A and B are shown apart, each in its own frame.
Chain A
Amino acid sequence: MQEQTGIPSVDHILSTIPPKKRLAKGPVAVVECFQEIPCDPCYTSCTTGAILPFEDINQLPRIDWETCNGCGRCVGFCPGLAIFIVDDTYSENESLVKIPWEFSCLPEEGEEVAGLNREGREVARVRIKKVQPSPKKNRAHILWLVVPRELAFEVRSIALKQGKQVDRGRKICLKTQLSADVKTLR
C-alpha cells in the first residue's frame, strides 16, 4: 500500500506498536520503516543497544522495546524521518508524540496546531510541548506534541503554517481504518 500512496499499511503500523505493558512504562521509539533500503543510522546512533545490530545494511531495523528508553536520539538521525517517540504515560487522556521536523517555520511552545495523520489529514488539535533543537548540527529538530491518547499512533505531523491542507483534486487515498484498529488493540 505504501508503494501506491506513500501511506504505510495498517498491518505495518500495527507491527510498530509496542505491547500495552511496555507502553505503560514510558516513552519508546516507534520505527515506521517498512522497506529494505541500504541504511543503518538508527542502529549506529542508538546508545542503549535497543536497535539491534544489522546483519546486512539492507535489512529492516529491529527494536528491543524493553531496552529502548525512548531517549529519541535516533529520531534526529533517521534520514527517512521514520522514527517517532510515543509516551503513553503523559497524562490520563493524552500521549506525548515526538516527531522529527525539518522546516524553518518552527511552532512555538504552548501553541495549538493542527495534528495530521499519515495522509496529511487533520485529525486533532495538538499542543506543542517543546521544540527540541537537533541533537547535532544539521540533524532534524524534534517536536513534542501533546495528542489525545487514542491518536498516539495516528498523529505523525503538524500542518505547515504557509500551506493550506485542502483536499486537492479527486480524493485518491484509501482512508485507513487505523484509528479504529488501534483502539481495538489498546
Chain B
Amino acid sequence: MFDTEMLIIGGGPAGLKAALSAAEQGADVLLVDRNPYLGGQLVKQTHMFFGSQKQYASERGVTIAEILTREVLNSDKICVLTDTTALGYFEDKSVALEIKGTFKTVYPKRVIVATGAQENTLIFPNSDLPGIYGAGAVQTLMNVHGVMPGARVAMVGAGNIGVIVSYQLLQAGVEVVAIIEAAPRIGGYHVHAAKVRRLGVPIYIAHTVVEAHGRESLEGITIACLDEKWQPVKGTEIELEIDVLCISVGLSPLTELLFQAGCKMEYVPQLGGHVPYRSENLETTVAGIYVAGDVCAVEEASAAMVAGQIAGLAAAGSLGYKQNNYEAKLKDAKNELAGLRRGPAGEKVRSGLWALTIAAGEAV
C-alpha cells in the first residue's frame, strides 16, 4: 500500500503526454502500463504522422514513442511501472495494481485513465480459423516481433487502421489481395487509400465477408456485395485465396475502470462506444478522475497526445501545481485540440462530443 499524487493508467500517447505535462507543473506522477514497454500503439506505427509540428507531424509513431519515453524516463518527477496492470478501482478511492505478479494498493490523489481502446471483431462462418487476426495483432507480429503473419492477406475495413496496416503489410513484403469495406465509402484518410491503391491493392467498398474456408487454417474467403440494407447480394460473390484475414472494424474504449469508479457514462457510437461525461479539463463526473485518449473518444493519436496534455495539466493544477506557465499552456492545448477536430475529418467526433461535455465543477 502506498500513496501517490497522481496515478496515470496507460503509457500510450495520451498517458505519456499527461505524465510529462503534470510533471512539468511539479506534480509527482506514477505512470503504469501493462506492457513491458511504454508507447502503447505508437510503437507499432511505422507511418509518418499527420497534424502539426506540435504533435510531431512527419515523424513516425515509433519515433514519437521513443522521444516521449525518453522524456518520461529522464523526468525525476515520474515513476514508471511497466508490466503493471490496474486491476480495479475501489470505493475507498484506491487502485489495485498487479506489478509483475505481486499485488499493491495505491491511494492516488488524482487518477488519469488513459487506457485506450480495444479492437472490435467480426463474426461470420469460420471466423475462428487460425489465420484470422485483428489488425492490431498483425501490427504487433510484424512491427514489434518482426514476424510475417502470412503470404497473402485480405483486410476487412478501410478506416485509417485498415489502410495503414495494409500498407505496412506491403512494406513487410506481404501480398495484399484486397481491402474489403462494408460502408459505401472509404473511412480512412484518402491519401492513405491512394498509397495502397497505386500499388495495385483493390478496395471493395459495400462488400462484406460471407464466410471463411479452410481445414487446419485459413485458405480463403468468400466476399459479396452489400445492398442498401447491408444485406449480401446473391450472385456477387468473389472467392479470394488467402492465408491471413485481418479484421479492422473499429475500436471500443476500454472503460472498465471508469464504470467501476462510478463515472457517468453514455453510449455514443461516434466516439466508439461507452464513453465518460467529461469537463473541458477532461475531468469525469467523479472528482479527481480524469480521462484522455481513446478511452474517452476513439480518434487519432495526435488528438490523444493533446488531450493527454490537457488532462495532465488540469489534474496537476487541481493539486495546486501551476508553476510552469500553467494557464497559457492549458489554453493552448485546448485550442490545439479544437483545431485538430475543426475540419470535416473531425465532424464525427464533434457530433459525439457536444452532449458529453459537462461544466467544470460539475464533478461530484
Chain A contacts to B: CB under 8 angstroms: 2-8, 32-41, 44-45, 56-59, 77-82, 102-105, 116-121, 138-140, 156-157, 159-160, 162-165, 168-170, 172-173
Contact = CB atoms under 8 A, between A and B. Distances in A.
7 contacts: A38-B340, A40-B57, A41-B57, A80-B189, A117-B198, A119-B197, A140-B48
A157 B343 contact: no
Nearest to B336: A57
A41 B345 contact: no
Contacts of B342: 38, 56-58
B203 A5 contact: yes
Q: Interface majority SS on A: helix, strand, loop or mixed?
A: loop
A3 B341 CA distance: 20
Given A116-B200, A117-B198, A102 B53 contact: no
B195 A77 contact: no
A120 B196 CA distance: 8
A3 B63 contact: no
A138 B57 CA distance: 12
B199 A160 contact: yes
B220 to A, nearest CB: 12
A160 B169 CA distance: 12
A165 B194 CA distance: 16
**A36, A102, A160 pick with most chain B CB within 10 angstroms:** A102
Interface string B181-209: 00011100111111111111111110000
Given A33-B191, A82-B194, A160-B170, A168 B202 contact: yes
Interface of B: 47-53, 57-60, 63, 163, 170-171, 173, 175, 177-178, 184-186, 189-205, 238-240, 300, 302, 339-346
Contacts of A36: 343-345
B61 to A, nearest CB: 11
Given A3-B190, A80-B195, A163-B170, A41 B202 contact: no
B345 A37 contact: yes
Given A32-B194, A168-B177, A120 B199 contact: yes
A173 B346 CA distance: 28
Contacts of A80: 50, 189, 191-192, 194-195
Given A2-B193, A3-B186, A5-B197, A56 B343 contact: yes
In the A-B complex, the 4 residue pairs with the closest CB atoms: A58-B343, A80-B191, A120-B200, A6-B197
A120 B342 CA distance: 33
A37 to B, nearest CB: 5
B339 A38 contact: yes
B190 A57 contact: no
A34 B194 CA distance: 11
B197 A118 contact: yes
Nearest to B303: A38
Contact of A102 (B171, B177, B191): B171
B198 A57 contact: no
A118 B194 contact: yes
B189 A118 contact: no
Contact of B199 (A4, A38, A157): A157
Given A57-B339, A120-B199, A44 B170 contact: no
B190 A35 contact: yes
Nearest to B185: A3
A137 to B, nearest CB: 9
A7 B170 contact: no
A2 to B, nearest CB: 5
Contacts of B196: 6
Given A37-B189, A56-B339, A173 B58 contact: no
A120 B201 contact: yes
A70 to B, nearest CB: 20
A177 B244 CA distance: 35
Contacts of B53: 41, 44
B155 to A, nearest CB: 13
B171 A169 contact: no
Given A79-B50, A118-B194, A170 B238 contact: yes
B50 A37 contact: yes
A120 B60 contact: no
A8 B201 CA distance: 15
B52 A40 contact: yes
A8 B191 CA distance: 9
Contacts of B346: 38, 58
A35 B196 CA distance: 16
A8 B339 contact: no
Nearest to B206: A4
B186 A6 contact: yes
Contacts of A56: 339, 342-343
Contacts of A57: 51-52, 339-340, 342-343
A138 B192 contact: no
Contacts of A44: 52-53, 57
Given A35-B190, A44-B52, A79 B198 contact: no
